[in-house]
Chains A and B, each alone.
Chain A
């Protein structure tokens, strides 16, 4: 009953956030000449925020299960930074004069691919360094070091992109995170990745549940642990890549959303994953509304808003987990 009610509330939140996002923003819907254009533009960015939020929240729930640590998320582990770097490299590769540009490959296809390679690479590094008994601190430090490395490389790419004004703006905008400039073609490219990623993670729910008992117990109960971890990492990489490709580098969604939902729907991934997809989508759509209505000279980057909300939440969770450890 409680779970059904939670799902109902999540649906209401999602519908409410989408409705608000369609109604709020620059330009008046009362003007019949602008209405369809405005609604079209807003629908695209609402779709992008929905996809990115759902993907990041689901990815967060899955990595927390795989690493058996509630304090990790794609952004904490450096996955989003890796995806972002991959995306920037892909953008750079499309600059006129590069071999890829001569192939006339569409940017909408190359960007998610670059993000996917970056996300997959960063997760593979984390997995290689952090086995099951790795403590939270090592996990977070590994993620921090990877994020720092990827951000340093991103800064280098940003400096390289300064030769071209358009490229420089695109790279900076992508790095800060935002759904303002997303095209319909980008949405079309990212949608199947998000859908496949979420469904695949949901289908692996039982494996993820059993991994909560640790690798040995999960294996004794019939889980092919290595295979389960590998596939989970692949699907998280797909989700993070798709999210970053349409939303830029947006942090903390994968941390906040699963934590909010576990007390309501439980730790069972079959119930947690769909709830994360709903709330993650609603959360990022709401953040995008805030970004649009915040009184500033230019629109606030989405990553700034999620960071302002997410960083204190992370610190509270960290303090709580340390209290639990010290109290035995």
Chain B
């Protein structure tokens, strides 16, 4: 196993019937980085994320924080790997704070008694995602973008070292999308491993250190984001030409911007 690897996949293969959804995917990822998971629609990004969370049966090897994936029970895995799906099935009149509190489930004992630092972890997760203002509002009354932020807060409340996000910026306005990517970088700088499936290559180039490029269930390129998100792999997988300089882009404001 690679030293300090939080995720180590070896020949990961997922089949559904006769279809091969992931084909012999191998990689090793350590803490403290944002990893962009790229690829066109149907490339296997969501399948890979679900496999890492333990939602799909697979063949091949998978070690999480040095332990065989198969040896982890559900709660242990949930304390290690948090997941924000692309589409949540949650649609009930539950206060947003209660939804975030679901992230503490794996820390509770079998009687459901709250852990000592539950409240602090929930508050922290809501502060990071700017969702304290939504705390008492019903989840099913929130906008789609607000729901995404609350679900991210739920994942952060798990305090897992590995955070997997499937298209997290899809429904966010530019401010919240940039804020989210900034937050992911911040979490990575504190030692988390963030794996984020993205469609927008410019977002991925801006936010990630490493990138995995999937096509047809196979890993076709991996390495530093600047290398993976370059003309040749992009042309090969997406069939488009990269334009070196966009006409305009966005970034979060700095102190320099607000200076008179």
Binding site for B on A (CB under 8 A): 68, 203, 205-206, 209-210, 212-214, 216-217, 219-224, 262-263, 266-268, 270
Q: Report if A213-B55 is in contact (Cβ < 8 Å); known contacts: A222-B75, A222-B79.
A: no
Instruction: Please give me the residue from chain A that is nearest to B93 by CB atom.
Output: A267
Q: Compute how far the CA of A262 lies from the CA of B138 in the bound complex, rounded to whole angstroms.
A: 13
Q: Report if A219-B108 is in contact (Cβ < 8 Å); known contacts: A212-B94, A214-B88, A224-B74.
A: no
Q: Compute how far the CA of A217 lies from the CA of B83 in the bound complex, rounded to whole angstroms.
A: 8
B90 near A219 (CB under 8 angstroms)?
A: no
Q: Which residues of A contact B82 (CB under 8 A)?
A: 220
Q: Which of A203, A213, A262 contacts B93 (CB 8 A)?
A: A262
Binding site for A on B (CB under 8 A): 50, 53-55, 73-75, 77-79, 81-83, 85, 88-90, 92-95, 98, 102-103, 105-106, 108, 111-112, 154, 158
Q: Which residues of B contact A205 (CB under 8 A)?
A: 112
Question: Distance (Å) between the CB of A325 and the closest chain B CB?
Answer: 12
Q: Report if A222-B78 is in contact (Cβ < 8 Å); known contacts: A68-B89, A210-B102.
A: yes
DSSP class of B's interface residues: helix, strand, loop or mixed? Answer: mixed
B78 near A221 (CB under 8 angstroms)?
A: yes
Q: Which residues of B contact A210 (CB under 8 A)?
A: 102, 105
Number of A-B contacts (CB under 8 A): 73
Instruction: Please give me the residue from chain A that is nearest to B106 by CB atom.
Output: A222
Q: Which residues of B contact A216 (CB under 8 A)?
A: 50, 55, 85, 89
Q: Which residues of B contact A270 (CB under 8 A)?
A: 112
B90 near A213 (CB under 8 angstroms)?
A: yes
Q: Which residues of B contact A263 (CB under 8 A)?
A: 93
Q: Which residues of B contact A219 (CB under 8 A)?
A: 53-55, 74
Q: Compute how far the CA of A138 lies from the CA of B77 in the bound complex, rounded to whole angstroms.
A: 34
Q: Compute how far the CA of A263 lies from the CA of B92 in the bound complex, rounded to whole angstroms.
A: 11
A222 near B105 (CB under 8 angstroms)?
A: yes
Question: Distance (Å) between the CB of A57 and the closest chain B CB?
Answer: 19
A217 near B98 (CB under 8 angstroms)?
A: no
Question: Distance (Å) between the CB of A157 and the closest chain B CB?
Answer: 40
Q: Compute how far the CA of A224 lies from the CA of B54 in the bound complex, rounded to whole angstroms.
A: 11
Q: Compute how far the CA of A213 lies from the CA of B99 in the bound complex, rounded to whole angstroms.
A: 9
Q: Compute how far the CA of A221 lies from the CA of B53 in the bound complex, rounded to whole angstroms.
A: 9
Give the residue among A212, A224, A262, A268 with the most B Cβ atoms within 10 A: A212
Q: Report if A203-B112 is in contact (Cβ < 8 Å); known contacts: A220-B55, A220-B83.
A: yes
A221 near B158 (CB under 8 angstroms)?
A: yes
Question: Distance (Å) between the CB of A261 and the closest chain B CB?
Answer: 12
Q: Which residues of A contact B53 (CB under 8 A)?
A: 219-220
Q: Which residues of A contact B98 (CB under 8 A)?
A: 209, 266, 268
Q: Compute how far the CA of A266 lies from the CA of B112 in the bound complex, rounded to whole angstroms.
A: 18
Question: Distance (Å) between the CB of A1 and the closest chain B CB?
Answer: 13
Give the residue among B53, B82, B89, B90 with the most A Cβ atoms within 10 A: B89
Q: Which of A206, A213, A214, A220 contacts B78 (CB 8 A)?
A: A220
Q: Compute how far the CA of A20 lies from the CA of B105 in the bound complex, rounded to whole angstroms.
A: 43
Question: Distance (Å) between the CB of A12 and the closest chain B CB?
Answer: 25
B90 near A212 (CB under 8 angstroms)?
A: yes
Q: Which of B89, B93, B95, B112 contacts A206 (CB 8 A)?
A: B112
Q: Compute how far the CA of A212 lies from the CA of B91 in the bound complex, rounded to whole angstroms.
A: 8
Question: Distance (Å) between the CB of A36 and the closest chain B CB?
Answer: 43
A213 near B89 (CB under 8 angstroms)?
A: yes
Q: Compute how far the CA of A203 lies from the CA of B77 in the bound complex, rounded to whole angstroms.
A: 22
Question: Distance (Å) between the CB of A132 and the closest chain B CB?
Answer: 8
Instruction: Please give me the residue from chain B that is nearest to A220 by CB atom.
Output: B83
A214 near B55 (CB under 8 angstroms)?
A: no
Give the residue among A213, A221, A268 with the most B Cβ atoms within 10 A: A221
Q: What are 11 pairs between A and B in contact, CB < 8 Å? A: A203-B111, A203-B112, A212-B90, A217-B88, A219-B54, A219-B55, A220-B53, A221-B78, A224-B73, A224-B74, A268-B94
Q: Which residues of A contact B111 (CB under 8 A)?
A: 203
B90 near A214 (CB under 8 angstroms)?
A: yes
Instruction: Please give me the residue from chain A that is nearest to B103 by CB atom.
Output: A221
Q: Which residues of B contact A262 (CB under 8 A)?
A: 93
A221 near B106 (CB under 8 angstroms)?
A: yes
Give the residue among B74, B90, B93, B98 with the most A Cβ atoms within 10 A: B74
B94 near A222 (CB under 8 angstroms)?
A: no
Q: Compute how far the CA of A221 lies from the CA of B89 in the bound complex, rounded to whole angstroms.
A: 14
Q: Which residues of A contact B75 (CB under 8 A)?
A: 222
Q: Which residues of B contact A68 (CB under 8 A)?
A: 89
Question: Distance (Å) between the CB of B196 and the closest chain A CB?
Answer: 16
Instruction: Please give me the residue from chain B that is nearest to A228 by CB atom.
Output: B74
Instruction: Please give me the residue from chain A that is nearest to B164 by CB atom.
Output: A220
Question: Distance (Å) between the CB of B92 and the closest chain A CB?
Answer: 5
Q: Compute how far the CA of A300 lies from the CA of B88 in the bound complex, rounded to whole angstroms.
A: 47
B74 near A223 (CB under 8 angstroms)?
A: yes
Q: Which of B50, B92, B102, B112 contacts A221 (CB 8 A)?
A: B102
A267 near B92 (CB under 8 angstroms)?
A: yes
Question: Distance (Å) between the CB of B108 and the closest chain A CB?
Answer: 7
Q: Compute how far the CA of A217 lies from the CA of B79 in the bound complex, rounded to whole angstroms.
A: 14
Q: Which residues of A contact B154 (CB under 8 A)?
A: 221
Q: Which residues of A contact B106 (CB under 8 A)?
A: 221-222
Q: Which residues of A contact B78 (CB under 8 A)?
A: 220-222
Please name the 9 residue pairs, one residue from A and one from B, whose CB atoms are nearest each other, closest first: A214-B89, A222-B106, A222-B78, A220-B83, A213-B90, A222-B75, A206-B112, A220-B53, A267-B92
Q: Which residues of A contact B103 (CB under 8 A)?
A: 221
B92 near A212 (CB under 8 angstroms)?
A: yes
Q: Which residues of A contact B73 (CB under 8 A)?
A: 224
